[in-house]
């Protein structure tokens, strides 16, 4: 007995000397009031040390507040080292150790995730505690009362601490509904332009481009029209010496059902959005007329943007009509295209030497602007004297929303929040494989008004120039004075599916741009009538902040 | 006698219940959905209940009963009769027209090809050729593959940049016309062996005497084929055709995995449209009407075929 006591005392003294009160397999509770989260090889065995208070008062050495509790979280299926699903696997053992609970990660194919979630919610099965949702699902989740409001949990101080204050307003609004909070910070989606700086700044190409087009090769292009010229110039030439084959201008992912319609949304924004200080019937609108829910999707601005996209498609591989985003990204990462416009994943993947041949030559910028836009009020085109770039939050900004049927919302919230605390969120945004993209203040560099340093990116394996342009592009994108409004009303999934199918038909040549968008508008009218025009109008106005 | 009379019904009960639960009920419920607009709302109440041990006594924790969260749900369903609205919509919907066109073109491309190829292969395998047993076993392997997996495999085969068929220069999946041809080719690959197998079995049932008698009467090979074998095999052809038509009308897995129904809606068959409508957009009433539309077409096809068979063969 005495020996045992001595041994225990000795161990405690050793632990204190080493600065550790309790060392676990995944978490060390340190004597200085910090805790160290120990990640696996997928994050290069990173150690994240945070104040214990950041993990919330419910957690601490010897506490396991959710012992015996099992929660289930659904996510787009991409595996333990895949986009969005990967971090759940990485942080599961940490949460299980500090909480005593268990997490079931339910991977569902992207095409079925929404369906499975809605079946669970509509039938009230309550099989899942949370869903890693795209923000465009909110219209189907929150107004119907399927989402669990998290304001009280956030305020309680019991669970891992994070805040919406780090988000640009354009992203914050995607996590809330009518001022109430539902989404736990995770991913920030928006599309920027990635370009091969070395190609655009090559003197030989600059001279040849000027001779062909009569103006200096812009790096990066400021307008879409310039981008098309540059793309045409480079398409079909072997300007990248990684292989003997000719390379492309712009690569797109256009397979139906695989998020190709986001390209159109991001590109067309500057052809369509009429700038203004607030949302009016003609300013800052994109989807519907907020007076009567008449679709705007076949406006001359939208049609011209689609015709432009059809032209741009010709400067990439014809097969991209059947490509998902992974294939388009790999094409760019292999050095086969001079441009791709896509999400934050690409910038981070450029740094992954296993997939990328272009680290250090993967510059990013906010998307170009059209040199004209369609004026909804005057019903005519307006020529722009200088480019007017339009921001976007295009994509899902995939994050956790707790089911209202969850018997354990506190446990679920604490698991999701563990991945939302600033040091974790910052680390995740630096890795390309995990699908978590930057958009929060601690991910932007100090010189751009954030709190991150370039050294941190370099330590995480980034090329400094790539990191600088990447973080600045996202800062500019999310804080742009004019932004594409985000559609998140009931039926958004269906509206976008219809758009996606018609865009795909236009890109494959089966329909003209006008026909595709006219068909979209007609089908949208049907959806609006079926769900209820008045109801949709009210939700749409609330979603975009329109007041009569 | 009376007892045994009753007990036989008891033995039939599982089968009857099975059919009622899994065939009749869904059929009836979907018919109901097609004529009613059903809205469902779930009301939620959160309560705390004590955790009980195996003897049903409350589990204590620090002297207090250990509690667990329980979510109580109450389903509130409202149904409004909308008559034939969904069926009217079906007739006017351009998406339905597109899907019907895709399905019909697919049927015309795939089913006759499968039948013809199956017949030719059966003729080949009906004679003595080297390694016939092994080849026949290999030939029928595609039938056992899961259509969804087949779709994914052929997605990589038809991959246009660096895929095994990229050298052809054919836009297998990016061109609307070729994409549908690709789907048909995969279906032909998978289901020709079925036609082959059934027709081969029928061929092997033809008695040798008939061949000999025809030969004695001076029949050429062509005569043998067209005047003996084809008439004899017609009932088999009809059955195979019927099965393949009914299956092909329900085409879903291959385009779902291979093309997602695209480009655009170029490879979206009717059943995929019904699936999207019901389980993606939860327009269940309209999806049920679509399903009944398909059922009506399949019924007509089957009725016509059986009538023709009865007329021809009594």
B234 with B95, same domain: the answer is yes
| Residue in A146, A144, A130, A135 with CA at minimum distance from that of residue A173 | A135
Contact A325, A342 (CB under 8 A): yes
B221 with B76, same domain: the answer is no
B288 with B213, same domain: the answer is yes
Report pLDDT digits (tens) over A184-238.
999 999 999 999 999 999 999 999 999 999 999 999 999 999 999 999 999 999 9
Report pLDDT digits (tens) over A467-525.
999 999 999 999 999 999 999 999 999 999 999 999 999 999 999 999 999 999 999 99
The token duo for A260 is: 């190709």
Local structure of residue B266 (DSSP, 8 states) = T
Chain B stretch 2-41, residues whose beta carbon is closer than 8 A to a beta carbon of chain A: 40-41
Interface membership of B159 toward A (CB under 8 Å): yes
Position B17 in a domain = no
Average pLDDT, chain A: 93
B255 with B146, same domain: the answer is yes
CATH number of the domain bearing residue B172: 1.10.3720.10
Nearest to A124 among B42, B159, B279 (CB): B42
**Can you say whether the dihedral through the CA atoms of A77, A81, A86, A89 is positive or negative?**
positive
How many whole angstroms separate alpha carbon B3 and alpha carbon B1? 5
Among B29, B41, B161, most A C-beta atoms within 10 A, so best to mutate, is: B161
**End-of-domain residue from the set B39, B61, B83:** B83
Residues 6+ apart with CB under 8 A from A474: A188, A190, A192, A344, A364, A437, A438, A439, A443, A444
Interface membership of B97 toward A (CB under 8 Å): no
Interface membership of A326 toward B (CB under 8 Å): no
* Distance (Å) from the alpha carbon of B245 to chain A's nearest alpha carbon: 27
Hey, is B63 helix, strand or coil?
coil
pLDDT band at A1 (very low <50, low <70, confident <90, very high): very low
Position B285 in a domain = yes
The number of beta carbons lying within 10 Å of the beta carbon of residue B221 is: 8
Position B101 in a domain = yes
Position B128 in a domain = yes
Contact A457, A464 (CB under 8 A): yes
B49 with B108, same domain: the answer is no
The token duo for B210 is: 């008939």
Domain of residue B264 covers: 86-313
B154 with B278, same domain: the answer is yes
Report pLDDT digits (tens) over A332-363.
999 999 999 999 999 999 999 999 999 999 99
Contact between chains at A256 and B276 (C-beta distance less than 8 A): no
Q: What backbone phi and psi angles, to 5 degrees, belong to A342?
A: -160, -165
**End-of-domain residue from the set B68, B83, B98:** B83
Position B22 in a domain = no
B98 with B173, same domain: the answer is yes
Hey, is A515 helix, strand or coil?
helix
Among A253, A260, A501, most B C-beta atoms within 10 A, so best to mutate, is: A501
Q: Is A349 left (phi over 0), alpha (psi -120 to 50) or beta?
A: alpha
B55 with B185, same domain: the answer is no
Torsion angle of C-alpha atoms A429, A435, A437, A442, degrees rounded to 10: -20
B207 with B291, same domain: the answer is yes
Domains of chain A: 54-184+399-434 (3.40.190.10), 192-394+481-544 (3.40.190.10)
Interface membership of B247 toward A (CB under 8 Å): no
Residues in chain B closer than 8 A to A322 (CB atoms): 160, 173-174, 179, 259, 262-263
Position B213 in a domain = yes
ipTM of the complex: 0.83
The number of beta carbons lying within 10 Å of the beta carbon of residue A110 is: 18
Contact between chains at A319 and B281 (C-beta distance less than 8 A): no
Nearest CA in chain A to B278: A115
- Regions of chain B where pLDDT drops below 70: 1-4, 312-314
Query: What are the angstrom distances between the C-alpha of A487 and each of A138, A182, A483?
Result: 10, 17, 12
Nearest CA in chain A to B170: A319
Report pLDDT digits (tens) over A417-464.
999 999 999 999 998 789 999 999 999 999 999 999 999 999 999 999
Residue A206: is it exposed, middle or buried by C-beta count within 10 angstroms (0-12/13-18/19+)? middle
B133 with B275, same domain: the answer is yes
How many whole angstroms separate alpha carbon A544 and alpha carbon A537? 11
Residues in chain B closer than 8 A to A491 (CB atoms): 281
How many whole angstroms separate alpha carbon A300 and alpha carbon A164? 37
Residues in chain A closer than 8 A to B68 (CB atoms): 407
Position B11 in a domain = no
Position B21 in a domain = no
B149 with B112, same domain: the answer is yes
Q: What's the domain count of chain B?
A: 2
**End-of-domain residue from the set B50, B67, B83:** B83
B51 with B174, same domain: the answer is no
Contact between chains at B160 and A257 (C-beta distance less than 8 A): no
């Amino acid at each position: 007995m005495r020996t045992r006591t001595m041994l225990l005392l000795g161990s405690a003294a050793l632990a204190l000397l080493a600065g550790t009160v309790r060392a676990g397999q995944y978490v060390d509770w340190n004597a200085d009031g910090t805790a160290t989260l120990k990640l696996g090889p997928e994050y290069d065995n990173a150690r994240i040390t945070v104040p214990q208070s950041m993990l919330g008062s419910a957690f601490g050495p010897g506490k396991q507040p959710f012992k015996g509790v099992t929660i289930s979280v659904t996510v787009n299926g991409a595996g333990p080292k895949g986009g969005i699903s990967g971090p759940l696997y990485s942080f599961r053992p940490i949460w299980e150790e500090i909480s005593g609970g268990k997490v079931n990660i339910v991977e569902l194919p992207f095409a079925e995730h929404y369906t499975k979630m809605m079946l669970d919610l509509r039938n009230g099965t309550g099989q899942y505690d949370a869903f890693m949702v795209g923000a465009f699902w909110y219209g189907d989740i929150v107004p119907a009362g399927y989402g669990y409001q998290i304001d009280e949990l956030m305020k309680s101080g019991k669970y891992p601490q994070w805040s919406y204050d780090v988000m640009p307003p354009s992203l914050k609004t995607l996590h809330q509904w009518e001022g109430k909070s539902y989404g736990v910070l995770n991913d920030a989606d928006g599309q920027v332009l990635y370009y091969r700086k070395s190609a655009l700044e090559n003197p030989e190409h600059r001279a040849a481009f000027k001779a062909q087009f009569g103006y200096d090769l812009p790096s990066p292009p400021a307008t879409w029209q310039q981008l098309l010229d540059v793309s045409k110039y480079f398409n079909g030439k072997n300007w990248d010496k990684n292989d003997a084959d000719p390379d492309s201008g712009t690569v797109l992912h256009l397979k139906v059902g695989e998020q190709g319609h986001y390209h159109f949304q991001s590109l067309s924004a500057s052809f369509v959005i009429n700038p203004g200080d607030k949302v009016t019937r003609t300013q800052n609108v994109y989807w519907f007329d907020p007076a009567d829910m008449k679709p705007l999707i076949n406006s001359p601005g939208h049609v011209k943007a689609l015709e432009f996209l059809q032209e741009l498609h010709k400067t990439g591989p014809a097969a991209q009509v059947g490509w998902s985003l992974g294939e388009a990204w790999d094409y760019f990462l292999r050095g086969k295209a001079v441009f791709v416009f896509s999400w934050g994943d690409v910038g981070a993947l450029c740094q992954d030497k296993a997939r990328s041949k272009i680290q250090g030559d993967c510059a990013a910028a906010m998307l170009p602007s059209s040199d004209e836009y369609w004026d909804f009020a005057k019903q005519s085109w307006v020529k722009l004297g200088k480019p007017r770039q339009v921001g976007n939050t295009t994509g899902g900004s995939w994050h956790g929303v707790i089911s209202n049927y969850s018997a354990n919302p506190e446990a679920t919230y604490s698991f999701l929040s563990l991945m939302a605390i600033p040091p974790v969120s910052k680390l995740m945004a630096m890795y390309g494989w995990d699908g978590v993209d930057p958009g929060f203040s601690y991910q932007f560099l100090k010189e751009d008004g954030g709190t991150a340093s370039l050294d941190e990116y370099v330590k995480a394996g980034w090329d400094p120039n790539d990191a600088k342009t990447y973080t600045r592009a996202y800062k500019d994108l999310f804080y742009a004075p004019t932004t594409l409004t985000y559609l998140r009303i009931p039926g958004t999934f269906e509206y976008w599916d219809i758009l996606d199918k018609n865009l795909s038909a236009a890109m494959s040549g089966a329909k003209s741009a006008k026909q595709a968008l006219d068909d979209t508008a007609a089908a949208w009218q049907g959806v609006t009538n079926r769900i209820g025009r008045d109801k949709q109008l009210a939700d749409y106005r609330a979603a975009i902040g329109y007041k009569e | 006698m009376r007892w045994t009379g009753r007990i036989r019904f008891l033995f039939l009960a599982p089968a009857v219940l099975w059919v009622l639960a899994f065939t009749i009920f869904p059929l009836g419920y979907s018919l109901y959905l097609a004529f009613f607009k059903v809205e469902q709302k779930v009301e939620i109440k959160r309560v705390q209940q004590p955790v009980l041990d195996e003897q049903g006594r409350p589990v204590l924790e620090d002297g207090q009963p250990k509690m667990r969260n329980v979510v109580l749900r109450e389903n509130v369903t409202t149904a409004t009769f909308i008559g034939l609205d969904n069926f009217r919509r079906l007739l006017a919907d351009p998406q339905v027209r597109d899907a019907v066109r895709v399905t019909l073109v697919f049927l015309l491309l795939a089913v006759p090809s499968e039948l013809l190829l199956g017949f030719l292969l059966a003729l080949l395998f009906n004679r003595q050729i080297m390694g016939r047993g092994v080849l026949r076993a290999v030939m029928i392997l595609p039938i056992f593959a899961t259509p969804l997996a087949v779709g994914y495999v052929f997605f990589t085969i038809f991959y246009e940049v660096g895929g095994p068929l990229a050298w052809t220069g054919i836009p297998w999946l990016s061109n609307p016309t070729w994409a549908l041809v690709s789907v048909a080719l995969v279906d032909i690959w998978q289901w020709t062996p079925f036609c082959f197998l059934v027709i081969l079995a029928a061929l092997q049932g033809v008695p040798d005497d008939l061949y000999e008698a025809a030969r004695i009467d001076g029949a050429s090979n062509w005569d043998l084929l067209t005047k003996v074998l084809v008439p004899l095999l017609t009932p088999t052809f009809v059955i195979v055709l019927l099965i393949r038509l009914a299956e092909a009308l329900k085409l879903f897995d291959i385009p779902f995995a291979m093309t997602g129904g695209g480009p655009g809606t170029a490879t979206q068959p009717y059943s995929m449209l019904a699936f999207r409508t019901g389980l993606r957009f939860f327009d269940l009433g309209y999806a049920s009407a679509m399903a009944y539309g398909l059922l009506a077409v399949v019924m007509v096809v089957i009725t016509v075929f059986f009538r023709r068979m009865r007329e021809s063969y009594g």
